[in-house]
Structure 1
Amino acid sequence: MNQAELIAAVAERAGLTKADAGKAVEALVATVTDALKRGDEVRIAGFGSFAISERAERQGRNPQTGAQITIAASRAARFTAGKAVKDALNGG
């Protein structure tokens, strides 16, 4: 499902216009992104939580040359599914 399909599904399920559903989806994404930038965790009851995962600097290899390279430290978003989502996926 891509963003346009998500917006259409939200519009249909919530009884909104696609324009209003699009604004709601974009607002949700922007709000979650801003919270993660600040280092906050976002928890949505019954769905899951978004958090930041810190990756330390590490050594790697260039697959073409075999030369050793340093991979810089980085931060990545991490999603953990909630119990309701896990149960729905596993037939519970």
Structure 2
Amino acid sequence: MADKSLNRTELVAAVAAASGQSQAAVNSTLDALFSTVAEEVGKGTKITIPGWLSFERTHRAARAGRNPSTGEAIQIAAGYGVKVSAGSKLKAAAK
């Protein structure tokens, strides 16, 4: 696993330094990006940033499961999840 991590504050500071924008401007841009991604994925729209990332809503069928504390069989309702895939540029950067 990665030895380092970058939290949101550190990411905002790094992007602000690299772009010459204020941290407030970068922070509001990230808020708008995440809000838009969440809204569109919630509608079922696939979002693709070629070479970097793609976000897609996936459907999970209803299934049988077990309550881990009692061992009782339960029915898990159908629902949705989100699939995030790395693009070629991001994969190449990770090598």
TM over 0.5, yes or no? yes
Tell me if 1:32 matches 2:37.
yes
Tell me if 1:15 matches 2:20.
yes
Q: Give ranges in structure 1 of 5+ residues lacking alignment.
A: none
Q: Structure 2-normalised TM-score?
A: 0.88
Return the alpha-carbon distance in structure 2 between the equivalents of residues 46 and 11 of structure 1.
22
Q: Structure 1-normalised TM-score?
A: 0.91
Partner of 1:53: 58
Return the alpha-carbon distance in structure 2 between the equivalents of residues 71 and 2 of structure 1.
33
Partner of 2:3: none
Which amino acid is the alignment partner of residue 37 of structure 1? G
Aligned residues: 90
Aligned with 1:76 (options 78, 81, 90): 81
Which amino acid is the alignment partner of residue 15 of structure 1? G
Give the % identical residues. Answer: 39
Q: Give ranges in structure 2 of 5+ residues lacking alignment.
A: 1-5
Q: Segments of 4+ in structure 1 off by > 4 A?
A: none
